[in-house]
Amino acid sequence: MPSERKVIVVGGGLAGLMATMKLAEAGVQVQLFSLVPVKRSHSVCAQGGINGAVNLRGEGDSPQLHFEDTITGGDFLNHQPPVMRMCERAPAIIYLLDRMGVPFNRTSEGLLSFRRFGGTLKHRTAYAGATTGQQLLYALDEQVRRHEVDGRVHKFEGWDFLGLVKRADGSCSGIVAQDLRTMRIESFPADAVVICTGGNGLLFGRSTNSIINTGSPVSICYQEGAIYGNPEMVQIHPTAIPGEDKCRLISESVRGEGGRLWTPKDPNDLRPPASLPESDRWYFCEELDPVYGNLLSRDIVSFAIYCVCRMGKGVAAKEQVYLDITHLHKKLGMSRELINDKLEGVLEIYEKFMREDPIDTPMRIYPAVHYTMGGLWVDYERGHDGAIDLQSPRNQMTSIPGLFAAGECEYQYHGANRLGANALLSCLYGGEIASQGVQAYLSSLETGWESLDSKALDDARMRRQEEFDFALRSNGSENPYALHAELADVLWNKCGIWRMQRDLETAAVELDDLAARAKQCAQLDDSDWVNQSAPFTRALGHMIEMAKATRGRRPGPQRISGRPLQNGLPAARRRGMAADDEGPLYSVGA
């Protein structure tokens, strides 16, 4: 391998930082592109923890049980060899983070503390209060900054990914990006590109995602020929605070520490919730499954809440139920200090936006779009023993040679439903294994990025420059922000927690109409410095293309199958969302 290889990593969250760190450690030059300062990446919002079967409680936990819970939770649509390897690596990754200085909570003996999360009966989630994502992101960024000082890493913060640069053989050899301060568009050559740009929650409008999570980079790769897997697999988190601008996540860690979901048996009972006796409360999840109780997997809990509210049994007959931790202090005697030590970040968010102390008053919550299980199709290769071959250049590579993906923007680890606290793990492991796949790919190259034809770079840049110039000159009548609100309404109401064939057919027509109208947007800002309107208009078109895939091609009700209980709740077992083993795969024109 030539001495000076160069790799571009797009996305500064956990997956991007892990890939960058590992590549830099291997002596590879890395250019890291991020839409925002890396410490503002959406990984910072993760609250609950990171899974790993360390088994410090002596519960008989193991990577094998972690693997079984993960693939069962995903309706067996996960890629099993990569998932097995991820679960085997999880304890080592947690201890690596511990050595980096992540302030994980600890037991009185000084050992790492683990909590339960949904979809499992074991305590396997390591956590740093309720700000685990922030602590992990900051720790990794400090490691990457060491390599910046050494000259191995060069950050491009405040740059928007616009497209790929390809060689004549179709392989990826760079990217086109735009500086969002000067609005300058440039092309950047590289030997390989790693996409780590997160999910597409903004398609649904008010999600728990940051407003930067448009899914635009993945949509661009999809439109340039990359296969997209399981696009309709979108996770609805059961507990969020609805808001006018976005939904605020109430972490699963609240239920992991003993939080209980309930509604008054009489929806018209207007007494203060803390004063209702147990006999007047309906703990619907505990009735649905007495073993898992409030820690059923997220898809089931979300659907149960949806059913309760659809039957008119929500709090005050509205779309909300109670998430209650008041008993921890009032009945179990847990001190406020201990509760805050474990959940302070979450409780602060609720108190800030709802003006109520959740230690004294039950929280009011409702499901919201949270995570994208689908994403860019990525490959893997098995060795002779059936396990993943760690030396294969196919690992984490998309259908475009030289283009890799890791984190929430790819599809193989979670299947139809992600278990809580597997997100941070899959981001870190995905970034790690992607770096190994990239290194193997670089070893197979006969020529480097220096040999890339300058015409390919210029053509890719000019294509994106012409698109941007056209957007600046656009004089249509449509407001891009109003169109986005319509897009969110279509997806949430027709492609959200409940999907029916007639709604999906209607959604297809409405999305085609939105796509046509998006080409007639009025340009709200024609300035050539820090212009926020034009990039949003551009992203809107990519979001609509992704929405068409998210709608899915296998219409039918998305529901939990099984015999209903007498109270109208569905039986607590799995829905079947796809007709084949891996779920649907999509490419443009399919």
Tokens of 519: 């080409």
d(CA 80, CA 78): 6
**What is the Cα 501 distance to its own chain's centre?**
26
pTM (2 decimals)?
0.91
How many other CB atoms sit within 10 Å of the CB of residue 571?
A: 14
- 405: Cβ contacts below 8 Å, ≥ 6 apart: 194, 195, 196, 221, 375, 376, 378, 396, 398, 434
How many other CB atoms sit within 10 Å of the CB of residue 570?
A: 18
d(CA 105, CA 251): 16
d(CA 225, CA 561): 35
- Give the dihedral of Cα atoms 36, 39, 45, 51; nearest 10 deg: 130
Tokens of 102: 């992540």
DSSP 390: T
* Phi, psi dihedral angles at 182 (to 5 degrees): -90, -15
Which positions are catalytic? 298
d(CA 268, CA 290): 27
Strands 192-195 and 403-405: parallel
Tokens of 409: 């923007």
DSSP 521: B
- Is the domain 456-567 a CATH 1.20.58.100 member? yes
Closest CA to 436 of 227, 196, 229, 194: 194
Q: What is the pLDDT of residue 526?
A: 83
DSSP 1: -
Q: What is the pLDDT of residue 494?
A: 93
Tokens of 40: 């503002």
- 138: Cβ contacts below 8 Å, ≥ 6 apart: 39
Written out in words, the top-level CATH class of the domain with range 237-362 is alpha beta
How many other CB atoms sit within 10 Å of the CB of residue 291?
A: 9
Domain with CATH 3.90.700.10 in the chain: 237-362
- 3: Cβ contacts below 8 Å, ≥ 6 apart: none
- 49-73: burial string, b at 16+ Cβ within 10 Å, e else: bbbbbbbbeeeebebebbbebbbbb
* Phi, psi dihedral angles at 9 (to 5 degrees): -110, 125
Q: What is the pLDDT of residue 555?
A: 42
- 122: Cβ contacts below 8 Å, ≥ 6 apart: 53, 55, 59, 61, 65, 66, 69, 116
Name residue, tokens 């290889």: 5
Q: H or E element: which one contains 472? A: helix 454-473
Q: What is the pLDDT of residue 577?
A: 32
d(CA 499, CA 4): 51
Q: What is the pLDDT of residue 561?
A: 30
Q: Which fold has domain 6-233+373-455?
A: FAD/NAD(P)-binding domain (3.50.50)
d(CA 240, CA 208): 7
DSSP 568: S
Provide the H-helix boundaries in 101-131: none
Q: What is the pLDDT of residue 385?
A: 87
Residue 228: strand pairing partners: 376, 586
Tokens of 77: 């649509």
d(CA 426, CA 434): 11
Domain with CATH 1.20.58.100 in the chain: 456-567
Angle at 400 between CA 397 and CA 403, to 5 degrees: 50
Question: 252, 293 in Cβ contact below 8 A?
Answer: no
* Phi, psi dihedral angles at 550 (to 5 degrees): -60, -30
Write the DSSP assignment of 127-142 as a string of letters.
-STT-HHHHHHHHHHH
d(CA 441, CA 1): 10
**What is the Cα 465 distance to its own chain's centre?**
30
Q: What is the pLDDT of residue 584?
A: 53
d(CA 29, CA 23): 8
Question: pLDDT tens track of the chain, all 590 residues?
Answer: 455 899 999 999 999 999 999 999 999 999 999 999 999 999 999 998 999 999 999 999 999 999 999 999 999 999 999 999 999 999 999 999 999 999 999 999 999 999 999 889 999 999 999 899 999 999 999 999 999 999 999 999 999 999 999 999 999 999 999 999 999 999 999 999 999 999 999 999 989 999 999 999 999 999 999 999 999 999 999 999 988 878 999 999 999 999 999 999 999 898 999 999 999 999 999 999 999 999 998 889 999 999 999 999 999 888 999 999 999 999 898 999 999 999 988 999 999 999 999 999 999 999 999 999 999 999 999 988 889 999 999 999 999 999 999 999 999 999 999 999 999 999 999 999 999 999 999 999 998 898 898 999 999 999 999 999 988 888 899 999 999 999 999 999 999 888 889 999 999 999 999 999 999 999 888 888 899 999 999 999 999 999 999 987 544 434 333 333 334 554 443 333 333 334 455 555 43
Largest Cα span, the chain: 75
